[in-house]
Structure 1
Amino acid sequence: MYRKRRAGSGKKGKLLAVLAVIVIAAVYYYVAIPAVNIHSSGFWMFLIALVVLGLLFYGGRKGIHSKEEVKSSKILKLGIGLVVVLVLVYFAGSILSSPIVNAKKYRNLMVPETGNFAEDIEQISYDQIPLLDKESAALLGNRKMGSMVDMVSQFEVSDLYSQINYQGRPVRVTPLVYASPIKWLTNMSDGIPAYITIDMATQNTELVKLDQGIKYSEAEYFNRNIYRHLRFKYPTYIFDQLSFEIDEEGTPYWVCPVKKFNIGLFGGQTIGRVVLCNAVTGECKDYKIKDCPTWVDRAYPADLLIELYNYHGTLINGFINSVLGQKGCLKTTEGYNYLAIDDDVWVYTGVTSVSGDRSNVGFVLMNQRTKETKYYEIPGAEEYSAMESAEGQVQNLGYKATFPLLLNIADEPTYFIALKDNAGLVKKYAMLNIQKYQNVAIGDTVQECEKKYLKMIKGSGAAVAGEDTKKITGEIRRMAQGVIDGNTHYYIVLEGHDDLIFDVPITDFLGIVKYDVGDRITIAYNEAEPANSVVSVEGDAGSAEGSVETDGGGSGDDTAAPGEEES
């Protein structure tokens, strides 16, 4: 009877030990939520921890405390051998997946095309230029939240601020979050009631209230936490950085890119699929990356695109060359920004040599939805050099430059920089030609800055054609001369258009001397006050179009000297 009770007690103890291991493993899985996938490092750690935990319970149950006892136990020796095998496979997989032995494969993960800047990047009007960086957007978002007295005590603004294209506008969007665990407990039944959108061009900030609250987010706990919700629906998927977006109807979604490993166990990561999770209902839709809906802007995280291009740039001539000789090796500069092109968001960053000089050999654009990459061989200023140049123009005011935005101004690659005061508020704007960054145009408004920049890159002050250029034809009614900064200008009024005065600088339109009162001409011009800036002049007497050209560098007379504020 005693032996039977002892045998029964032993079986019960083994069962309890097994149950304890299962419970601990289940708790660990629920908290750490590793993907059940051999390409996941977390899954290998989970397996190793599970085996070690089982061995500890077994050894403790058997009362094994010495090496000799361990060696005499077949189960312990088998378990230890399994741990060693798992560790060796993990480390071997890591090495065989690395660029050391797969340089060519890593280099080909991203293959950039050579782009044409003037054709690929259209010139946009000043009222569509994104003026705010993430920090400035956060200030506006917090200010908006502070004015919502019915919500401010219960909710805060998330720091996500994803930049997307929404209904053809550059917008940053971010959800609200619960102010504390207690606020979560009292509000969880209704969810998060709103999200914030900020128009990056107009700075219009809107708090969008929802008919039904957001119930799946990073601010939730337990099963409604977005990461846990995704893990239980897709236990084998390895997710990359999640992004909060809204579709064209304003419905909030979590865009959840799924990692794809192309080299060995852990190497060559790209994005293979995208899961779109409705933030309100939790409904998920799974797409291959090539079938991703066009309203999605951030399927490829910016950091991943930067990493892929750096693989291409540094491993162009093999791994050993990337470490020793570094012949032909290129890398992206520190920092990046976003461009909106054809309803997609592209990551912009400069490209420089690995030697770490202060100049760029070109720049690269990478599509966050398709991974399409275009390289532009335009040497010029590295972004932080351009920022320092802009800050030097207003150093007496102590303004700090934001990371540049790349724009096409009159077919010239141009850095656009916002200048902020100590409170983080944008006070002035700067435009610099990438290839001639020592010449800086500063303005209190974007329109003023653009006007000065156009005048500066033309050199002598002639206007440059843009999307707002107009044409008019008529007989010359009056002509008058004037001298500005030592240069002769003709001022023309056409018959029937007494309200329009056209400024024609003779240094750029020498042929204007062929015309007189009564001649019929066609003038292309940009509207301005008090005189309209002429782009071209044509008529019966010949063409006066652009007879004198400059190198576009200019003397910088229209920019503030270092330490002087633009009047």
Structure 2
Amino acid sequence: MLVMTLMYSLLAIIIFICKSIFLRNKKQTLISLSILLLEILLIFIFVYCLLPSRNLLSLLLGNAIFGGIFLILNLFIGNFDDDIRRGKLWVNKSFSIGLSVVMVILLIAVGGELHSILSVKPTYNSISVKKVSSKQAPTFKRGETPVALAPKTVLNRVRKAVSDLPNSQYYKIAGTVQAQYIHGKAVYIVPVEYQGFFAMMKAKNIPGYFMIDATSQNATPKFIKKPYKYTTSAYFKRDTERQLYRNNPQWLKLGDGGAQLEIDNNGNPYWVETVYKSEFLSHRINYKKLRVIVMDAVTGKTKTYKLSNLPKFVDEGITSDVAAEINSNYGSYKHGFWNRFLGKTDMEEPTNNGPEDGVTSIFNENGTISYFTDFTNPNTKSDSALGYSMINARTGELTYYKANGIMDSSGAKSNANQNYKAQQWTANMPILYNVDGRPTWIMTILDKTHAIRGYYYLDAEDQSIYGTGSSPISALDDFRQALVNSGAKASNTPNSNLKQITGTVDRVAIVSNKNKVMFTLKDSQIVYTIDTDDFAKANLLRSGDNVGFKANIVNGQSIGNVTKFTNHNLK
């Protein structure tokens, strides 16, 4: 802190030295020294409380401001009174030199700030992007794809459990939920925070953290007793951000949020923060050169890692606020700074409908975590989505899925909310998946207390097609039935298990207004459905015909997506 105070006071000190040399007035020098010492004290308080950036541009701007303040204070206190009365202020060497230095540094700083703001194309180009077709989008697989609890629900359950802690009056749950895999299991980690300064002095340490199964509807939070010293709600040397700032002078914090708590496989807590080094005289970020600082929450020891060699237990080296920033820069700066305000060509705007800094943490089947968000058109008030992204939380790579003709997450939530208007329940955590080849919004329905009331699956292309259920699986089955009933075209989900079925037709119903044929086989209660736009000869199907086809079977309900249909009675 002392070094940073000195660096932000440097210009004021130089002005004082120059003034002392040219003025040679002991009384005024002592007054000026008193002003300098007072200003250094205020700068120390500024540095200690706000932890300002160590970026060279920030240091220049800070020196110009504090140096200018020192110069003005000397004027008002009377060090230049004689020159002012004689109209020779500008001839005063100490004032002239001080003012010139302040103006030069201020111009350099302002120029650097403008350059940082306007030259955004290199930042955009540094984002690792992989563009793919929407057909390659994540597929929702029955019984395999994890559907996480809404963070609001998790916090509600954890806050109720805090009262069970010893001396619970010292602690609170601030609202941070960390997605993580521990021993291959998807969990949420919720840190315990101090109620305030006096609570910290009484409690001495944080007693541990809460862990909850992220994918079980009825999961209850479990308190893990692992006391640790450093936390984001502590003060002075025990404050996480202060410890990270003090021990890593060469790295700058990225994003507006704080450090995130992650747990290793032995249950030990660590704070994780994404950092960067800016370019010379610029605030510009190179996303290809990000680093991650991992700090032991017990000892305060820190270590800096490249994204390519993070410890295995760190699932989100890219913190959620950094992911939101990457999305914003990707959508806004493809054609530079001015395009954002003038032409808006190819510009896409994140909807920021996620629960964590505008993004949603997704538990992937392969044991990794991604941040999801969708993009909409900033030029219109429509609710259509232009695409959506998945950012790998360990590597920072952004995978962009181009979309056409689908509603965005705001429209999806509004649609779901209308269906629960009477109950005053609301949709949360909209995530887009491929369900039987169709883009589908999957949402969690919560009541006013943030308790789970069900799940809502909405066809992103046709908002009249939706399914509901008390669990993700029952809602999926209801949605698939709705697809069948609507006659909507659906293709088989990639890599899904299709059943080859043969048999004799028992009963047939032709639904001409929806271009489909429904039939059953002898000795079977399942109703099969064929889209006649795909198989025109299905209109000729009759009882007793021998048929063969493939279909996805949905647990005793009607089946859509019949493929490779053959009527052996037709020659």
Give me the TM-score of the superposition, normalised by structure 1.
Answer: 0.78
1:346 aligns to 2:370 (yes or no): yes
1:152 aligns to 2:168 (yes or no): yes
Change (3 A) 1:390 1:88: same
Change (3 A) 1:194 1:535: same
> Which residue number corresponds to residue 520 of structure 2?
490
> Which residue number corresponds to residue 436 of structure 1?
462
1:141 aligns to 2:165 (yes or no): no
> Which residue number corresponds to residue 399 of structure 1?
425
For residues 440-467 of structure 1, the C-alpha deviation after alignment (integer angstroms, 9 at most, x for no partner) is 2122322221001122234559997798
Counterpart residue type for residue 404 of structure 1? P
1:382 aligns to 2:408 (yes or no): yes
The gaps in structure 2 that reach 5 residues or longer are 1-23, 354-358
CA contact (8 A) 1:502 1:532 kept: no
Of 431, 444, 447, 1:418 maps to 444
1:247 aligns to 2:272 (yes or no): no
What's the CA shift for 1:14? 7.5
What's the CA shift for 1:326? 3.0
Task: Report which of the two has the higher share of helix.
Answer: 2
Output the CA distance in 1 between the equivalents of 2:545 and 2:455.
40
> Which residue number corresponds to residue 477 of structure 2?
451
> Which residue number corresponds to residue 164 of structure 1?
180
Percent of aligned positions with the same letter in both sequences?
19
> Which residue number corresponds to residue 115 of structure 2?
96
Q: More deviation in 388-397 or 323-332?
A: 323-332
Of 192, 208, 221, 2:223 maps to 208
CA contact (8 A) 1:105 1:263 kept: no
Other structure's SS at 2:313 match: coil
What's the CA shift for 1:215? 0.6
Output the CA distance in 1 between the equivalents of 2:369 and 2:301.
25
Output the CA distance in 1 between the equivalents of 2:48 and 2:335.
45
> Which residue number corresponds to residue 362 of structure 1?
387
1:331 aligns to 2:358 (yes or no): no
Of 240, 249, 259, 2:276 maps to 259
Output the CA distance in 2 between the equivalents of 1:537 and 1:104.
48
> Which residue number corresponds to residue 298 of structure 1?
316
Q: More deviation in 298-307 or 358-367?
A: 298-307
- For 1:261-280, list aligned pairs within 5 A: 261-262=278-279, 265-268=282-285, 270=287, 272-280=290-298
Output the CA distance in 2 between the equivalents of 1:207 and 1:200.
12
> Which residue number corresponds to residue 555 of structure 2?
528
> Which residue number corresponds to residue 210 of structure 2?
196
Output the CA distance in 2 between the equivalents of 1:327 and 1:303.
26
The gaps in structure 1 that reach 5 residues or longer are 1-5, 494-500, 548-567
Q: More deviation in 460-469 or 397-406?
A: 460-469
1:226 aligns to 2:249 (yes or no): no
What's the CA shift for 1:62? 7.1
Counterpart residue type for residue 210 of structure 2? I
CA contact (8 A) 1:298 1:369 kept: yes
Change (3 A) 1:202 1:289: same
What's the CA shift for 1:430? 0.9
Counterpart residue type for residue 206 of structure 1? P
For residues 82-116 of structure 1, the C-alpha deviation after alignment (integer angstroms, 9 at most, x for no partner) is 222222111111112223xx354244233532214
Change (3 A) 1:268 1:12: closer
Aligned-CA RMSD value = 4.0
What's the CA shift for 1:175? 0.8
Counterpart residue type for residue 327 of structure 1? T
CA contact (8 A) 1:348 1:366 kept: yes
Counterpart residue type for residue 343 of structure 2? G
Counterpart residue type for residue 212 of structure 2? I
1:47 aligns to 2:63 (yes or no): yes
Output the CA distance in 2 between the equivalents of 1:456 and 1:223.
58
What's the CA shift for 1:321? 4.3
Other structure's SS at 1:396 match: coil
Change (3 A) 1:422 1:13: closer
Change (3 A) 1:243 1:312: same
Counterpart residue type for residue 247 of structure 1? D
CA contact (8 A) 1:537 1:544 kept: no
Other structure's SS at 2:271 match: strand
CA contact (8 A) 2:273 2:317 kept: yes
Other structure's SS at 1:391 match: helix
Change (3 A) 1:233 1:515: same
Output the CA distance in 2 between the equivalents of 1:259 and 1:512.
69
CA contact (8 A) 2:155 2:175 kept: yes
CA contact (8 A) 2:274 2:291 kept: yes
For residues 170-203 of structure 1, the C-alpha deviation after alignment (integer angstroms, 9 at most, x for no partner) is 4332210122322211111xx1011112333214
Output the CA distance in 2 between the equivalents of 1:506 and 1:93.
65
Output the CA distance in 2 between the equivalents of 1:465 and 1:345.
22
Other structure's SS at 1:257 match: strand
What's the CA shift for 1:544? 6.3
Output the CA distance in 2 between the equivalents of 1:178 and 1:38.
35
CA contact (8 A) 2:351 2:410 kept: no
Counterpart residue type for residue 437 of structure 1? Q
Other structure's SS at 2:221 match: strand
> Which residue number corresponds to residue 250 of structure 2?
236
> Which residue number corresponds to residue 126 of structure 2?
109
Figure out how many residues of one structure are paired with residues of the other and give that number: 517
Other structure's SS at 1:438 match: coil
Counterpart residue type for residue 221 of structure 2? E
CA contact (8 A) 1:502 1:534 kept: no
For residues 25-49 of structure 1, the C-alpha deviation after alignment (integer angstroms, 9 at most, x for no partner) is 434332233243314x3x3454235
CA contact (8 A) 1:131 1:418 kept: no
Q: More deviation in 320-329 or 152-161?
A: 320-329
Counterpart residue type for residue 154 of structure 1? Y
Of 174, 179, 199, 1:183 maps to 199
Output the CA distance in 1 between the equivalents of 2:346 and 2:525.
52
Of 280, 284, 299, 1:281 maps to 299
What's the CA shift for 1:226? 1.0
> Which residue number corresponds to residue 9 of structure 2?
none
Other structure's SS at 1:205 match: coil
> Which residue number corresponds to residue 6 of structure 2?
none
Output the CA distance in 1 between the equivalents of 2:28 and 2:560.
99
Output the CA distance in 2 between the equivalents of 1:13 and 1:292.
54
CA contact (8 A) 2:112 2:282 kept: yes
Counterpart residue type for residue 222 of structure 2? L
Other structure's SS at 2:166 match: coil
